[in-house]
A and B are shown apart, each in its own frame.
Chain A
């Protein structure tokens, strides 16, 4: 365990389904991130929340909808996804400028 917990670990969903990914941290961090990682590709930053406010949205399609209800929880709501959205979705958190991220183990998403 790294201190950042992601659920579920694996998810298979149809293109018409609605599902949510959950991320939880109790490290006292005040920033949380969603990354997409496709096979053998760099990490793609999707969203950043700092002090529960969304501060970055990197041109992510609207079929991905983040939610940060408090500083310990982060969600990624999914609807009408495409097969190319299949990837490992990683959550991370950090404390402040000049410190690193702590990553969760990721959710392996497969869209069929």
Chain B
């Protein structure tokens, strides 16, 4: 079946650096993508989303880039802080259900060193 995967399971960065977390998806019918952040002991929290009619979307310190040609999604975090340390999941909505089923990637562990 279709799946969403991640290139890097772990990422370590220094405080103040920019972080890039990547995600590959295989379902060309997917039209909506989301990044979630999960801190230790908590549930995943929404960070930013993007629809397939866009290539880039910016939030506060975060940017999501979508390359539909190569089916690639990335999350960029500017000036990474220790509080950004968490597991980051990408998710896609390929449609086909009445309830908006998402398919999640395996997650990337981001560790920020002070």
Contacts and interface: CB of A to CB of B under 8 A. Distances in A.
Interface of A: 2, 4, 6, 30-31, 40-43, 48, 50, 55-56, 90, 92, 94-106, 108
A105 B100 contact: no
B99 A43 contact: no
Given A97-B95, A97-B97, A98-B31, A105 B42 contact: yes
A100 B49 contact: yes
Contacts of A97: 93, 95, 97-100
B106 interface: yes
A112 B43 CA distance: 23
Contacts of A95: 100
Instruction: Say what secondary structure dominates the interface of chain B.
Output: loop
A94 B89 CA distance: 17
A48 B106 contact: no
B104 A50 contact: no
10 contacts: A4-B43, A31-B99, A43-B89, A55-B97, A97-B97, A97-B99, A100-B46, A101-B44, A104-B43, A108-B41
B43 A103 contact: yes
Contacts, number: 69
B43 A96 contact: no
B104 A43 contact: yes
B43 A98 contact: no
A42 B43 contact: no
A98 B99 contact: no
A62 B95 CA distance: 29
Nearest to B103: A45
Interface string B17-58: 000000000000001101010000111111001010000000
7 A-B pairs closest in CB distance? A103-B43, A31-B99, A50-B99, A97-B100, A42-B106, A100-B34, A105-B43
